[in-house]
């Protein structure tokens, strides 16, 4: 069945959902985006996602041609128009058309694009048994060069690291920062469990502060599980009791090996499973 896509102010058939070849989003990856999960026909934590989108846009001096409330309405309308009950929204804002040059002053007409579709999660066996990670040689972009808080259309850094993971037979890969510290995975944030407490890299480690990450931190604190945002090395993961990832598409998934080294018992741990169940209850009421 053909999808309806919001682009340039209208819901149109996906075949008519086009942008100019001179759009700087295409030419230079100049734009911002959000990925949002849909549960029960409603976008999860819509306000947080929309606020982050507008913060990213403000940081790169991109003016979005509608208000935050209008944007939220467009997202929900696109979800409803496509009959999505459990799925995913890709919300994109491009710089707009311009010349074959970097000067943003020559651009106009930023494009707002909203795609709502079904979602493919990691295979069920990974949630049951946990996944294996490898460490990518590609490090996260230096935060002094580009703030990791900007969710931009240029994801080449993550794509190259992801390819290292898939080449090694892993669906994800761990990325370190310029200090050699643990940052995040190519599309997910990372946590470990040590002595009953959660540890996860802080924003200054060069991570994108995930919406799902925040939801899981709150779930843990509500259950009395201590949470520490602190610098981590791979040694901390190798010696952890448990490890798991969080992300919009991943939700919560255990990690049982890193670089061929078994973490904990080699199975999803009890705290990881509690948080998986808690997140399921939060999003699905079950």
Asked whether 5 and 12 are in contact (CB, 8 A), the reply is yes
The answer to whether 151 is a known catalytic residue is yes
CA 94 to the chain's CA centroid? 18
Token pair for residue 106?
Answer: 């020559």
Q: Please name the residue that has the structure tokens 């919300």.
A: 91
Asked whether 57 and 95 are in contact (CB, 8 A), the reply is no
| Helix H or strand E segment including 133 | strand 131-135
CA distances in angstroms from 34 to 51, 236, 241, listed in the order given: 10, 30, 32
Please give the Cα distance from 86 to 197 (Å, whole number): 32
151, 162, 179, 257: which is the annotated catalytic residue?
151
Asked whether 12 and 60 are in contact (CB, 8 A), the reply is no
DSSP β-ladder status, 131-135 and 10-13: unpaired
- 3 state DSSP class of 32: strand
Pick from 44, 80, 51, 88: nearest CA to 67:
51
Radius of gyration of the chain (CA): 19
Which runs of consecutive H residues, i.e. helices, occur in 193-269? 211-222, 234-238
Asked whether 192 and 185 are in contact (CB, 8 A), the reply is no
Please give the Cα distance from 128 to 268 (Å, whole number): 8
Please give the Cα distance from 170 to 4 (Å, whole number): 33
Give the catalytic positions in this structure: 151
């Amino acid at each position: 069945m053909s999808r309806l896509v919001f682009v340039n102010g209208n819901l149109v058939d996906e075949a008519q959902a086009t942008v100019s070849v001179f759009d700087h989003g295409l030419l230079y990856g100049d734009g911002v985006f959000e990925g949002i999960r849909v549960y029960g026909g409603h976008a999860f934590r819509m306000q947080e996602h929309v606020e982050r989108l507008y913060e990213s846009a403000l940081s790169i001096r991109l003016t979005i041609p509608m208000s935050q409330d209008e944007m939220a309405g467009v997202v929900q309308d696109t979800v409803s128009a496509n009959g999505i009950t459990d799925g995913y929204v890709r919300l994109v804002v491009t710089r707009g058309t311009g010349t074959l040059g970097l000067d943003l002053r020559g651009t106009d007409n930023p494009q707002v694009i909203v795609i709502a579709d079904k979602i493919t999660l990691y295979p069920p066996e990974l949630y049951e048994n946990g996944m294996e990670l490898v460490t990518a040689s590609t490090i996260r972009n230096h935060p002094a060069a580009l703030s990791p808080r900007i969710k931009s259309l240029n994801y080449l850094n993550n794509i190259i690291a992801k390819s290292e993971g898939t080449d090694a037979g892993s669906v994800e890969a761990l990325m370190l920062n310029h200090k050699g510290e643990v940052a995040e995975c190519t599309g997910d944030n990372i946590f470990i469990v040590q002595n009953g407490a959660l540890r996860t890299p802080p924003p200054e480690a060069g991570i994108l502060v995930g919406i799902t990450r925040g939801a899981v931190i709150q779930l843990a604190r509500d259950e009395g599980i201590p949470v520490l945002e602190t610098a981590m090395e791979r040694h901390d993961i190798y010696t952890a009791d448990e490890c798991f990832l969080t992300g919009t598409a991943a939700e919560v998934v255990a990690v049982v090996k890193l670089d061929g080294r078994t973490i904990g018992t080699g199975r999803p741990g009890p705290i990881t499973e509690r948080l998986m169940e808690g997140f399921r209850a939060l999003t699905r009421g079950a």
